[in-house]
Each structure stands twice: as C-alpha cells, then as structure tokens.
C-alpha cells in the first residue's frame, strides 16, 4: 500500500526549505511514502515559484497555489487565513488527480501543517484526514508554548502580565528556572497572546508533532513529552534536519568561500542574524567599532533591520552604501582582516575551516547548523523565540559559555550519531510512519 501525505509549509523560502528537507527524510525512509507540498505564495512576492526548491525525487512534488491580489497591509495571520479556500481546492484536486501505479493502492494518509498554518486544520477535518504538525523550532520551546497555554486555561495565569518582571518559573521541558524576561514578545503582548494560546490549543488536537531536534540535544523535553501526563500529542524528534544545498556556487557565494579559504584555521568570527535580522545605523557603527578594536578577522552579514514585527511587514534589505553607515575609514582599515557581505551561504560558511566563532540571532536552524559543524556561538537574540533559544544554549545546554568549544564538539558527535541507523532520530521517523499508517482513514484514491 502506498501512502500520500500533504505538507502545508508557511510561505517563505526558509520554511519551505525546512519542510522540503523533512519531506525528503520521510520519502527516503520508506518506499511507500509519497509527499506533496502545497506552496502558498509569499505575501511580498508576485512570483509563486521563484527561488523555491525543485523536486529531484519522483515521490516528492510541489503544488504551487496561484498568486492573487496581495495586500501587504494584511497581518501574516490574516494572509494565511485568506489562502484557506485555495488550499482546500488544492487538496480536492489532489484527491482526484494523484497519479496511480498499476497494481497498487494509494491512500491519502494525512495533512502535515506548519506551526503558522494551524488554521488549515479545518481543511483536514473537512476531508476527514488526520492532521499532524511539522514544528521547525525546538522541543523545549514547544513545551513552553503548551505550558503557557495550560497556565492560562487551567490556572488563569496570564504571562503577558509578567512583562518587565524579574520573576522566574518552572517550564517542564527545562531543568532550570526560566526568567520571564526571556519570554518571546508575542507572549508578553496583550494583543498577540490570544493567537499564541489558540495555536497551542489547535496543536493539542493534532495526531502528532514532528520536531527538528533529537533526544540527545533535548533529553528533558523528550522525557516530558513521553509522559502520558503531559496531555500532548506524540512528539517525534526526527532531527537535526539540515539543508546543506546552498547557492554558494553563484558569483557572490564563490567569492565569500574563496576569501575564507585564504584565512587561517579557526581565525574568523562570523556574524549573521538570519533572514529577518538586521540593525539600525547606530547599532551597526557600534558593532563595527567593536570588531575593529578586537583585531580579529571577521565575516559580517550586514543588512537593514526587518520591518517584520509580530509577523507583519516586509523582510530586511541590503544597505546601499556601506560607507555612509560605517565609521569613517573602517572599510580601508579592516580590508586585510574583514569582509562585509549581504546575503550569506550560511551552511557553507560554517563548514569552512576558517570559522572559529559564530555570532548568531539564535534561530533554531542556525543553532543546529553551528552545532553540526562544531562552531562555538555567541548569542544575540533579536525577536520571536530567540530569547528562549539563547537561554537554552547558555543555561540549559552550556553550548555558549566558557567551556563551549569542548561541549559543542561533544554535542556535534551526539547529533551525528542520532541520524545513524539505530539512532534516536531514525527510530522517531519509523515510529511516525508506523503511527501514520495506523491512523489512515478509509477514503482510498
């Protein structure tokens, strides 16, 4: 029997690449599995498919939704909601037109939702399909999400009232008390907390949650989720899921990697703050002064700050004239030891022998990549769950402290072991597939 899963990633190349990597992992794990990714066009692009990955596997394909009237004044949540009729039509078409192999049956086994597309659970229910979630962040933060929702629903505790508080509280997926000041901005916002709570409640309705992590990296979190008392869906730690295909073969990427090849081993500090991270001109000048005074080699991915706040607005842009925002003469004085770039082929950079440290915004993918390549980090969270991730890296895992190089090396070895045959992540993938098969509805196509 063949199994068809439909994935609905959040729009944006980062989420789509992560979901593609997850889909490839599942397809490679079992010959029965076929996957279709329904691609929602970006809210800020007129091209439904530009720069999106192309499938190289015959059991993995993309279904691009049409680009309609795009109003950038919409919130991200309302934009996703507006796509629901298109997703519903796409699933209906898939049920009618999925190609069949002779002599075989294929069953539509379920819909896998991105965390920001949880409202699409309505579509799964309309087609009587099990809904699952692919959670691109870590298991510990997933536990915080459930915990905040439980505190509100069961104990009438509103964490938004802890804004600017020095309070600390227990989070069941952490071994240490968690400071309220590290809560993400959407949780301490009276305006956005209801959406966070609603997302957590919907998550509880799903059949299971795929998490981009491993038991080796988050033992406390996985212990919590394995306890029936957690009252959560099964959590499958199938990571680390990393996308090693980059565009480093283009002219800019080649130039960056060539420059790194010329530097001594572990001599370069890499500064990169994700696809949505950037700084204003005053902060840029302060960073530049610090880098010059340090005397260390550096590779700095420098971009304007994003207008994206609470999932509104547009992504960051490149600075047009660096000399206008950097200290006078900075580029000339640091020409032999430093390089400032815009976009960065991050995985290829972190893999370079020249990188000795990584200043990161603490996006979960960036954390996994730094650990995978054994690069110590200095944390600089900006928004979203990055404050939580920074706390986890420093306090919970000890991967960003004074002994971090040794600890990072140990965790690097553990992550790679998790993906081997017999490893914890391989076992989690098999368990997920087994549970999907057991939850298949009766509708056959």
Which residues are identified as catalytic?
15, 114
* Residue-by-residue DSSP string for 233-261: --EEE---------STTSHHHHHHHHHHH
CA distance 423 to 217: 13
Distance CA 208, CA 69 (A): 34
- What gap in Å lies between CA 28 and CA 197, rounded to an integer? 35
Cα distances from 194 to residues 89, 108, 309, in angstroms, run 29, 33, 16
Q: Are 150 and 170 in contact (CB under 8 A)?
A: no
* Contact criterion met (CB below 8 Å) for 302 and 322: yes
* Nearest by Cα to 269 from 173, 381, 349: 349
Task: Evaluate whether 251 touches 343 at the Cβ level (below 8 Å).
Answer: no
For 36-156, where are the alpha helices, taking DSSP H only? Answer: 76-82, 84-97, 121-126, 139-155
Residue pair 263/298 in contact by the 8 Å Cβ criterion:
no
User: Taking a C-beta distance cutoff of 8 angstroms, is the pair 11, 42 a contact?
Assistant: yes
Rg of the Cα trace of the chain? 22
Structure token pair of residue 140? 């510990």
The encoded tokens of residue 113 equal: 């939702």
Tell me whether strands 178-179 and 168-169 are parallel, antiparallel or unpaired. antiparallel
Asked if the peptide bond before residue 240 counts as cis, ω within 30 degrees of 0, the response is: yes
Rounded Cα–Cα distance for residues 298 and 43 (Å): 34
């Amino acid at each position: 029997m063949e199994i068809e899963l439909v994935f609905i990633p959040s729009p944006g190349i980062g989420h789509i690449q992560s979901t593609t990597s997850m889909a490839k992992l599942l397809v490679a794990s079992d010959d029965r599995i076929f996957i279709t990714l329904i691609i929602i066009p970006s809210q800020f692009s007129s091209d439904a498919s530009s720069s999106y990955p192309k499938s190289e596997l015959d059991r993995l394909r993309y279904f691009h939704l049409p680009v309609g009237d795009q109003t950038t004044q919409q919130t991200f949540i309302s934009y996703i909601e507006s796509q629901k009729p298109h997703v519903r039509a796409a699933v209906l078409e898939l049920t009618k037109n999925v190609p069949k192999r002779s002599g075989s049956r294929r069953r539509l086994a379920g819909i896998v939702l991105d965390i920001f597309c949880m409202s699409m659970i309505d579509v799964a229910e309309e087609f009587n399909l099990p809904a699952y979630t692919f959670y691109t962040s870590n298991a510990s933060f997933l536990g915080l999400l459930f915990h905040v929702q439980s505190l509100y629903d069961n104990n009438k505790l509103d964490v938004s009232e802890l804004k600017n508080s020095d309070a600390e509280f227990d989070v069941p997926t952490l071994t240490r008390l968690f400071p309220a000041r590290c809560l993400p901005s959407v949780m301490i916002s009276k305006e956005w907390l209801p959406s966070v709570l609603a997302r957590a409640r919907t998550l509880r309705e799903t059949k299971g949650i795929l998490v981009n992590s491993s038991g080796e990296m988050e033992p406390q979190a996985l212990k919590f989720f394995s306890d029936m008392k957690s009252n959560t869906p099964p959590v499958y730690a199938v990571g680390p899921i990393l996308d090693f295909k980059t565009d480093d073969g283009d002219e800019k990427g080649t130039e960056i990697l060539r420059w790194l090849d010329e530097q001594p081993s572990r001599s370069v500090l890499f500064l990169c703050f994700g696809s949505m991270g950037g700084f204003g001109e005053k902060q840029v000048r302060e960073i530049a002064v610090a880098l010059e005074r340090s005397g260390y080699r550096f590779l700095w991915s420098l971009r304007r700050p994003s207008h994206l706040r609470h999932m509104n607005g547009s992504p960051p842009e490149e600075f047009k004239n660096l000399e206008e925002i950097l200290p006078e003469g900075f580029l000339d004085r640091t020409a032999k030891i430093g390089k400032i770039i815009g976009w960065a082929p991050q995985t290829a950079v972190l893999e370079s022998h020249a990188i000795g440290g990584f200043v990161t915004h603490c996006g979960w993918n960036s954390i996994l990549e730094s650990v995978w390549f054994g690069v110590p980090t200095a944390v600089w969270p900006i928004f979203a769950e990055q404050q939580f991730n920074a706390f986890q890296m420093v306090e919970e895992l000890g991967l960003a402290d004074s002994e971090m190089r040794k600890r990072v090396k140990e965790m690097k070895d553990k992550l790679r072991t998790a993906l081997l045959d017999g490893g914890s992540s391989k076992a989690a993938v098999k368990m997920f597939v087994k549970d999907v098969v057991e939850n298949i509805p009766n509708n056959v196509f």
